[in-house]
Amino acid sequence: MFYGLATNRVSVPGLRFTHTLSDIQSLNQKAIEGDGMYDVTAISFHAYPYLQEKYALMTCGGSVGEGYGPMIVAPRAYSESEIKAKKIAVPGKLTTAYLALKIFGPEIETEVVPFDQIIPRVVAGQYEAGLIIHEGQLTYDRSGLYRILDLGKWWAQNTGLPLPLGGNAIRRSLGRELISSISAALRYSIQYALDHREEALAYAMQFARDLDPQLADRFVGMYVNERTLDYGEDGKEAIRRLLEMGYRAGIIAVAPRVEFAE
C-alpha cells in the first residue's frame, strides 16, 4: 500500500516520506512507549487505546478480514471447547489476533512466540496449538496441522461485522491541515498500488520472507483491497465494537476512545 509513496510514483508538494520496515509488535511498542518516533505508523487495533492520546486512527491503510482472519491451528482436530484448555502460542499480546482469541476464550493460557516460529514450534510439539497470522493462514495444512477455529469467521458469525486487524495511526500534534494532506497522500498511494497490482506486488516481494509469488498474491488480495482505501461505516463500527468488547472483558486496561483523522 505504500508502494506509490516509497517509489515516488505518488508525491505531495512539501512532504517527504521515509519508509521504515519493522514487525508489528515492535511498531506497537514504539508508538506506546516512544515520543512519536513515527509521524505515521502501522499498529494493531488492539494497541490503539494505549496510544490514543498521541495518535488518531487514519481511515485508510487498514487490514480487515471479511469473514476470515487469524486462525488457531493444532496437530490434532480439537473441538472449540477442547482448545480452550490448551496452551496456545501467540504472536504478541498487543496483536489484534490475541485480543480476538481472548474474547473467544478468556481462560485460554498463552505464550508469546515470534510469529514466524509458531507453526514450526507447534509441529515440533513445543505447543499444543498456535495462533497464526500472515501467510501461515494459507500454508498451515502443508505442515500437517488442522484449523481449529478461524477467528475472523467466528467474529463475523457473532457480530455480523468484518474483523479489523491492523491500521495506520497518525500523530495528533501534526495538526489538522497536515494530517489531511498526509491522509490524502496515503490514499492516493493505496489506489495506485491497487491500480498497478503486479508492479506493486513485485516491489513488495523484495521484503517478503521467501514467499511464493502466487501465495503472496493471494494473501495480499485478502488484506489489501477496497477496505484498505476506506473502512466503511461497518468497518468503523467493527473497530469500536472490538475495542469496547475487549475493554468490557478486562483484556484492554484503557477505555477506548476511537477517533478517525482525515
**pLDDT score recorded for residue 127:** 98
For residue 216, which phi and psi values (nearest 5 degrees)?
-60, -40
| Cα gap 119→108, rounded to integer Å | 18
**Block mean pLDDT (10 aa), the chain, length 262:** 83 85 87 83 97 96 95 98 98 96 98 95 98 89 96 98 97 95 93 89 74 80 88 96 98 97 84
What CATH code is assigned to 3-65+162-261?
Answer: 3.40.190.10
Distance of CA 106 to the CA centre of its chain: 21
Q: How far is CA 98 from CA 29, 57, 88, in A?
A: 15, 20, 10
What does the pLDDT read at residue 229?
Answer: 92
Residue 150's pLDDT is what? 98
Q: Specify the amino acid at residue 2.
A: F
pLDDT at site 244: 98
- Cα–Cα distances in angstroms (integers) from residue 204 to residues 62, 93, 199, 207, 211, in the given order: 17, 27, 9, 6, 11
Are the C-beta atoms of 95 and 130 separated by less than 8 Å?
A: no
CA–CA dist 190, 84 (Å, integer) = 38
* pLDDT (0 to 100) of residue 209: 62
Q: What is the pTM of this model?
A: 0.93
* DSSP assignments along 76-92, one per residue: S---HHHHTTSEEEES-
pLDDT the model gives residue 184: 93
First-residue to last-residue Cα distance in the chain: 17
Amino acid at 172: R
Q: What is the pLDDT of residue 6?
A: 84
Q: Say what the pLDDT of residue 33 is.
A: 86
Every domain range in the chain assigned CATH 3.40.190.10: 3-65+162-261, 71-159
Closest CA to 92 of 131, 59, 60: 131
196 is known as an active-site residue: no
pLDDT reported for residue 129: 99
For residue 226, what are the CA distances in angstroms to 8, 64, 171? 22, 10, 24
The active-site residue out of 19, 46, 134, 196 is 134
- Please tell me the predicted confidence (pLDDT) of residue 208: 66
Q: State the DSSP string of 180-202.
A: HHHHHHHHHHHHHHHHTHHHHHH
Topology given in CATH for the domain delimited by 71-159: D-Maltodextrin-Binding Protein; domain 2 (3.40.190)
Task: Give, in order, the Cα–Cα distances in Å from 170 to each of 28, 31, 54, 66, 145.
Answer: 13, 10, 8, 25, 39
Q: What is the dihedral of CA 163, 167, 172, 176, to 10 degrees?
A: -90
**Torsion 27-28-32-36 (CA) sign:** positive
